[in-house]
Chains A and B, each alone.
Chain A
Amino acid sequence: MASVRLENLRKEFGSVVAVKELNLHFPDKKFAAILGPSGCGKTTTMNMIAGLETPTRGSIYFDDRRMNDVPPGKRDVGFVFQNYAIFTHMTVAENIGFGLKIRGVDEATIRREVGQIAELLELTDMLNVNAGRLSVNDMQKVALGRSMIVKPRIFLLDEPFSNLDAAFRAYMRGELKRIQREIGQTMIYVTHDQVEAMSMADNIAVMDFGVLQQFGTPDEIYNQPVNLFVANFIGSPNMNFIPCYFRSEDGKGYLVQKRGNARILLDDRRRQLLEQHPGNQDLIWGARPEHLTLHSEPSRSEYLRATVRFLEPLGPKTVVHLELGDQDTIKVIAHPSYREKAGTVQWIEINPKYLHVFDAKTGFAIR
């Protein structure tokens, strides 16, 4: 197994910059995810690690060895493609054993190894089936098995679950994580699905427009997003963002809503921080819907007044859309049985621990 380090990695396609000066370190034996919307450069990054694309600038290291000039087949990297790239003219067994066959391993060993992999992936019954006739779910497993059998140092997966049906996807998330833990495999996983990244990865790299936005554990990404993009991209329903400005009164700091007059009292640490912040008249505060609570009475003065617009009952929870001030919409997750009518006035409680403040110009979080 090996760690992967990217140094000032850059990739241009003609005049388009796909990846911009990327610095990342994926630790050994860990499960890392690269998360971002489509076109953010995550697949390009993956292809550069695999060697399928040549970086325009920068270096790729596996442990301490620079890999830029090592051809893809010699990098000892397993790669699972989004569409699985199964060899449809071969049987399942031939597919899984392909990597060994081209290395000149003898038939008996191949059969044994294929048998082990098939057992691990529950493919034993299908070994002699023509791979072109498999269901998408089984193709996915075969693609995994084919890469696993050569015991690569690094395992790369490019959105491997995006074509699967929902139930099987959830099952495979669990399986993949189990396999990764069992063999202590370094895995790098590209996805646009935050649930996959959050549920499986030890570390997540969030990318947008070829630029790394944040790299950290799922908790860090969720609780301490460094900028508006990460804050917005992670979480479902996404974070509420309310444009505001900073006001200091009587030694107390407030965030005042721009389109309305909702005021949030700040704690001392935040107040000092924002007082010194040059752009403090142009801010955005953010709070996740799941960190807000609705009350029917203004029992505390810092509650924000809002009017219910409509409800989204989702079963295990209800998403309440409210109007805060003049135009700002705010979403709150309420109890599943919450059924207030539109137009009802509600009071929103914000837990200051989960309040995020961003500079509206730069988008960076102020902490």
Chain B
Amino acid sequence: MDSNVAIPAVQEEQVKPAARLRRRRFLDMSDVRFFTISLTAPAQYVLLFIIMFPLLAEVYISLTAWTPTRGGDWTQAYRFWDWGRNYVEVFRDLAFWQALGRTFLIAGVAVSLEFLLGLGIAFLFLDEFPGKRVFYALMLVPMMIVPAVAGYVFWLFFQSNGPLNAIISLLIGQPFTLTWLANDVTAMIAVIVAEVWEWTPLMFLIMLSGLVGLPEDQMRAATMLGATFWQKFRYLMLPMLKPIIIIALVIRGMEAVKIFDMVYLMTQGGPAQATETISIYMYKIAFQQVRWSYAAAAAMTILVIMTILASYALRPLQAPQREVA
């Protein structure tokens, strides 16, 4: 028995040493490779699995003129094949581009305000003062409130008989009954106010952490050299906070362009299209006008635009990483 088992093993060793060696090295490599693959594979495939079909289905539908109201289900959409007419229409659709522009306007104004307010409030909280912890906790509360609830509270807030008008009436001493959400400009302001209210605390948190982490001795060194507060802010704090500021702006900007809840609950994009963001626009096309193929074409257009924007927006997030490597 013993010799029977041993002989082939010896023979293999003698006959094909090179092949064996190759095989071993391959095995060694595959050990790490297999591990790496098994780490990233679940994510990759789950993602592909969930994204692949919807993506192609969206492209497919977008190339037809099918909608649920035209009869048949979506699989029969090839019967209404019309190549890229939807895309041409999207390009011609002023409402689409206006909604896109509005989205960036709201996001831009809201994020800038959040940043400035957040930074300013962070300076107020930089030193110790009695009651700081309580005020700090209160500052963070808006972040914990579900945006849908916040949108609803702000909707109440901006009603013509709501608390805001009541406060203004008290201040100016005569009845003030502006219907905020029924006027183009004020509705926009209302939406931005709600967005700023919800997210300034996050900016505040980021900026405060950044300020607290600034190296104290460098500030003192600048003080000793006679720098005023503004000079320290301009030449030291801003450059040192720059990476954090950029990251904060990118993170918030990325989220802000998706704005839906607040607008949906406060104005439904109205009055008319005054506060119609891209998400609201698509919601209306898909679920109120039920033009699915057109909505799909719009979605694909947004996908392209956002991919281009994201690749630039995310660049600053990557820079420090690359420097380390």
Contacts and interface: CB of A to CB of B under 8 A. Distances in A.
A71 to B, nearest CB: 8
Contacts of A89: 239-240
B225 A86 contact: no
* Contact-size category for A: 20 to 34
* Contact-size category for B: 10 to 19
A303 interface: no
Interface string A58-82: 0000000000000011100111011
Contact of A102 (B220, B235, B239, B240): B235
B221 A102 contact: no
Contacts of A101: 235
Contacts of B32: none
Interface string A324-366: 0000000000000000000000000000000000000000000
B217 A83 contact: yes
B220 A52 contact: yes
B126 to A, nearest CB: 16
A73 B226 contact: yes
Given A85-B215, A89-B240, A73 B221 contact: no
Given A81-B217, A87-B236, A102 B227 contact: yes
Nearest to A150: B225
Contacts of A73: 223-228
A83 B226 CA distance: 20
B238 to A, nearest CB: 10
A103 interface: yes
Contacts of B169: none
B313 interface: no
B231 interface: yes
Nearest to A99: B225
Interface in B191-228: 215, 217-218, 220-228
A86 B228 CA distance: 18
Interface in B231-245: 231, 235-236, 239-240
Interface string A147-161: 100100000000000
Contacts of B221: 79, 81, 85, 87, 143, 146
Interface string B239-267: 11000000000000000000000000000
A50 interface: yes
A77 B217 CA distance: 15
Interface centre among B225, B226, B227, B228, by most A CB within 10 Å? B225
A255 to B, nearest CB: 50
A31 interface: no
Contacts of B218: 85-87
A50 B236 CA distance: 20
A82 B220 CA distance: 12
Interface string A215-259: 000000000000000000000000000000000000000000000
B201 to A, nearest CB: 28
Nearest to B225: A99
B227 A52 contact: no
Given A85-B218, A90-B239, 12 more contacts: A72-B220, A73-B223, A73-B225, A73-B228, A81-B220, A83-B217, A87-B221, A87-B235, A98-B222, A102-B222, A102-B225, A146-B221
Interface of B: 215, 217-218, 220-228, 231, 235-236, 239-240
